Chains A and B, each alone.
Chain A
Amino acid sequence: MFKTIKKNPGKFFGFSILLIGFLLAIVPLFYTLITSYVQSQYFTFFNPKQLRIYWSLFSQSRILLIFGRTMLLGVGTATISILIGGSFAFVFERVQFKFAKILRGLCLVPILIPPYIITISWMQMFGITGYISKLPIYNLFSTMSIMGLCLFPIVFLIVSAGLKRISSRVEESARLVSGKFRTFWKITLPLLMPYLLTASFFVFVLSISEFGVPMLLHQNVFVSEIFYRFGAFFDHEAAISMTLPLLILVLFLIVIQSKILGKKPVQTINSNFTQKKIKPSKKAEFSIYFFILLILSFSFLIPIASLFYLVNWAGFTYAIRTSLTAIWNSLWISIGGASLLTFFGFFAAYFLSSISGIKKRVLDILIMIPIIIPSSVVGISLIRTWNNPSTSWIYGSILILILVYLTRFLPYAIKLQESNFTQLTKNLEESAHLTGTSFFKIIKKILIPLLFPGIIATWAISFILIIRELGASILVYPPGFETLPIRIFNLVHYNAPESIAALCLLLIVIVLIPLAFIYILYKNQTRKK
């Protein structure tokens, strides 16, 4: 393996980057999980006595009920997200209508807003103290609906990227011999399957590892149970051990996903092609607007309007005055962190896309482990790894926050870019390689231009994930380096709704500024092309 890598500097570099990421992000988690496994009173598989204790813990009807509820939440949220995000992607990529650009931008807004903020807003309107009315929102259906409405942009982004890459000739040829719907079922949908699977997987995992929304809506899920062990009982070993069922579940899903994806044919990118879009009738166009605006209203327009309704000038100035340092901290560390994640993700994905077989499957599984580990366990693992006299300079500085982001979000950065690489034919790169073009030139002249939308999407998603990260940061952030979510969290505990509303709006604005910058950059790049 090493011999093969050395022959190709690109592979070597990708492998080095993956190795560094692995050492920084995954090894500490393994270390924590294994030491916990060894020490925990609940887990020692080869000891029959301990096994009985383990069985008695996980066979409790209460725990099984909670696990079942968690699965329902994941499946329900993924279904809602796929239905909305998939439909949106198809409409925007295949139908021509006015205001599409503006509406496309608006469709990405829900992912910019932390789901717990949307939940708080709905609760302010319809919860126990709702200022509009008291409605039965404290149930699993509301939880999965809010999560689905917050997470559908992930599906939208991924499926849109997929639709852009599907060779138009394939679809057009199919349409010559069969109808639109048959083409969709027989050609488009199967070609989209890798994207749909990737998107469903992310949404499922994000929803079952979400803590805030279920907690606010009084739905006890597995992550809450882990949190109770950790936060209320201070039983860290039990909390770590209880991540095992989630871990096994996600590993199982990864194996299935990679088996299905492994069988899919690779499509070439037709970069010079402009997809012909369907021109709908007036009635159909009106239905499209109605559908999009209806979804956007429930996902963020109504909750944001409610925040505006509640906010007042005093609350807003107070929020800005007391949070300036936190805003600045969050902004620059998120920009730096997102750039680092995109860099790591790009080269790691490059390496992963160049290997196959059992090596690839094993690496795929290892890389995805952090995704399911609850944020508090990530925090514990980072403290245990880095808080010792020799590495205090890391633990006591902002570097520890960078490690939080690498640990928690590297899998997203890798997977988002890997799906781009798998759809990219190797012929171009190999031809360039044979002509003696250096790896750097190949990256600059071939890979980056072709994969630019994917790279930008990865950066944007990384930025969004980082700027709202709270669960692990709050456990390790260096004294004096408060980030905005930590500031919001501290204020949310005791402040009036107007301050909460002000801070939530502030966070949204802060997220939008760099994204607007990236959008301009992207536009310039595509114009050059």
Chain B
Amino acid sequence: MTKKGKVFSNSLLLFSLSAILVLVLIGVIFSILAQSNQVVVYVSHDQDYSEPILLDFQKETGIKIKAVYDTESTKTTGLVNRLIEEKNNPQADVFWNNEVSRTLVLKNKDILEPYCSINAEGIDKKYKDKECYWTGFAARARILLINTDLVSLKDAPKTLEELTDKKWQNKITLANPLFGTTASHMSALFVVLGKEKAETFFKKLKENGLIISESNGRTRDAVASGTIEIGFTDTDDANDAVVDGKAVSVIYPDQGKDQIGTLIIPNSVMLIKGGKNKENAKILIDYLLSPETERKLAFSKAAQMPLHIGVKKPKNVPDVSKIKTMNVTWQEVTEMLPLSQEFLMNLFIS
């Protein structure tokens, strides 16, 4: 090697080592900062509604919130997968999930640690885990959204079974049944109707021209714009259309005496096993499960139904105890999920 070449090689080596040193320093600074008074929370509830609550928590307690947000729509490969992959070296302390069946996936994969919050005491036992692995709060319902310009309330379907009638042909839309609350709803129907009856029901829906949309939000938009008459969606999505003054109405299906009822889906909060800020995590869980948080979520655009009794709520948010709820457990829904998803994937997604 020439002299110049050697000098150059040495400079390069020095440069490379310096670069590595700088990178290490950056990493060390980050890891030191990470040890300060904080709590890392993964949130799959819509950021617009969850972030103000977390900022209030930060303000009131002085504990710094470090959040990772996500949604449960079709594009998400996000937080549940991330928590599964991070199992051996957890980064999160708390997971605020906007539904329950994926929470049980995490429980079954030994990613959660039990924590019985004092604020969980006022919540009905069907909305929480008996071993305290998770606790539900602020619920939504799976409803039918009807465009009232196209369908009169009198003629509107009151049960899901009615949707297989020819008069609703090509007039119903459903979000991708493999994801989010729609997947949980479909799985719950498999549980409550039984496998054979559920399969027949979905085959009839397909024959009746059921239109698959991308998300519950798109379902709401299709109904609100009058493109489609009826859509399966969640109450928070439906509330957007109601608040915006669209010609829509919400139907809680199957409320009759011998009917299957409506699926109620609470948010769920849980402690991550091996999280680095356990004490702060417990304080955050208590905060989220408080009646005050439920009040805030009820008055937000999400219009979520409080699970504590006596929490103030606006008129458009129904009392969860007055809805006939679907008689399923979340364990059953979670166990049924792979089977229902496989069937629906083959039926609706070519």
- Is B34 a contact of A236 with CB atoms below 8 Å? no
Does B82 touch A at the CB level, under 8 Å? yes
- Is A475 a contact of B77 with CB atoms below 8 Å? yes
Binary contact track B61-90/A, C-beta < 8 Å → 1, others 0: 000001111110111111011101110110
Q: Which of B75, B88, B225 has the most CB of A within 10 A?
A: B75
Binary contact track B95-117/A, C-beta < 8 Å → 1, others 0: 00000000001000000000000
A439 and B4 alpha carbons, distance in the complex (Å): 9
Within 8 A of B (CB), among A228-259: 228, 230-234, 236
Does B201 touch A at the CB level, under 8 Å? no
- Is B76 a contact of A399 with CB atoms below 8 Å? no
A436 and B221 alpha carbons, distance in the complex (Å): 70
Q: Which residues of A contact B88 (CB under 8 A)?
A: 387-388
Within 8 A of B (CB), among A253-306: none
| Beta-carbon nearest neighbor of B78 in chain A | A474
Does A220 touch B at the CB level, under 8 Å? yes
Q: Which residues of A contact B105 (CB under 8 A)?
A: 234
- Is A397 a contact of B350 with CB atoms below 8 Å? no
- Is B75 a contact of A212 with CB atoms below 8 Å? yes
Contact residues on A (Cβ < 8 Å of other chain), bracket: 35 or more
Within 8 A of B (CB), among A423-445: 436, 438-440
Q: Which of A128, A379, A384, A388 has the most CB of B within 10 A?
A: A128
A23 and B331 alpha carbons, distance in the complex (Å): 43
Does A491 touch B at the CB level, under 8 Å? yes
Does A72 touch B at the CB level, under 8 Å? no
Once A129-B218, A227-B77 are accepted as A-B contacts, the answer to whether A493 and B71 lie under 8 Å apart by CB is yes
Q: Which residues of A contact B71 (CB under 8 A)?
A: 489-490, 493-494
| Beta-carbon nearest neighbor of A130 in chain B | B227
- Is A379 a contact of B40 with CB atoms below 8 Å? no
Q: Which residues of B contact A497 (CB under 8 A)?
A: 221
- Is A491 a contact of B4 with CB atoms below 8 Å? no
Within 8 A of A (CB), among B1-28: 1-2, 4-9, 12, 16, 23-24, 26-28
Q: Which residues of B contact A218 (CB under 8 A)?
A: 212
A521 and B218 alpha carbons, distance in the complex (Å): 44
Does B169 touch A at the CB level, under 8 Å? no
User: Which stretch in B137-145, B316-324, B338-346 binds the other chain?
Assistant: B338-346
Q: Which residues of B contact A395 (CB under 8 A)?
A: 89, 91
Does B47 touch A at the CB level, under 8 Å? yes
Q: Which residues of B contact A322 (CB under 8 A)?
A: 48
A165 and B69 alpha carbons, distance in the complex (Å): 48
Once A62-B350, A490-B71 are accepted as A-B contacts, the answer to whether A376 and B77 lie under 8 Å apart by CB is yes
Binary contact track A372-399/B, C-beta < 8 Å → 1, others 0: 0000100110011001110011111111
* Nearest CB of B to A288, in Å: 39
A392 and B92 alpha carbons, distance in the complex (Å): 13
Binary contact track A474-504/B, C-beta < 8 Å → 1, others 0: 1111111010001001110111110000000
Does A514 touch B at the CB level, under 8 Å? no
Main secondary structure, interface of A, reads helix
| Beta-carbon nearest neighbor of A20 in chain B | B16
- Is A387 a contact of B30 with CB atoms below 8 Å? no
Once A129-B227, A232-B183, A397-B27 are accepted as A-B contacts, the answer to whether A62 and B346 lie under 8 Å apart by CB is yes
Q: Which of A7, A220, A397 has the most CB of B within 10 A?
A: A397
* Nearest CB of B to A10, in Å: 9
Within 8 A of A (CB), among B182-216: 183, 211-215
A9 in complex: contacting residue of B8, B211, B350, CB < 8 Å: B8
Binary contact track A206-227/B, C-beta < 8 Å → 1, others 0: 0000011001101010001001
* Nearest CB of A to B66, in Å: 4
Does A339 touch B at the CB level, under 8 Å? no
Q: Which residues of B contact A493 (CB under 8 A)?
A: 46, 71, 73, 215, 217
- Is B91 a contact of A396 with CB atoms below 8 Å? yes
Once A231-B179, A490-B71 are accepted as A-B contacts, the answer to whether A220 and B47 lie under 8 Å apart by CB is no
- Is B4 a contact of A438 with CB atoms below 8 Å? yes
Q: Which residues of B contact A436 (CB under 8 A)?
A: 2, 4
Does A312 touch B at the CB level, under 8 Å? no
Q: Which of A236, A322, A393, A491 has the most CB of B within 10 A?
A: A393
Does A50 touch B at the CB level, under 8 Å? no
Does B222 touch A at the CB level, under 8 Å? yes
- Is B27 a contact of A7 with CB atoms below 8 Å? no
Q: Which A residues lie at the B interface, using CB under 8 A?
A: 6-9, 12-13, 16, 62, 65-66, 128-131, 134, 211-212, 215-216, 218, 220, 224, 227-228, 230-234, 236, 322, 376, 379-380, 383-384, 387-389, 392-399, 436, 438-440, 471, 474-480, 482, 486, 489-491, 493-497
The 6 closest A-B pairs by CB, nearest first: A393-B27, A397-B30, A479-B66, A493-B71, A232-B178, A9-B5
| Given contact pairs A393-B28, A479-B66, a sample of 17 additional A-B residue pairs in the complex whose CB atoms are under 8 Å apart | A9-B1, A128-B211, A128-B227, A129-B222, A230-B77, A232-B178, A234-B84, A387-B91, A393-B31, A396-B34, A438-B7, A475-B85, A479-B67, A482-B69, A493-B73, A493-B215, A493-B217
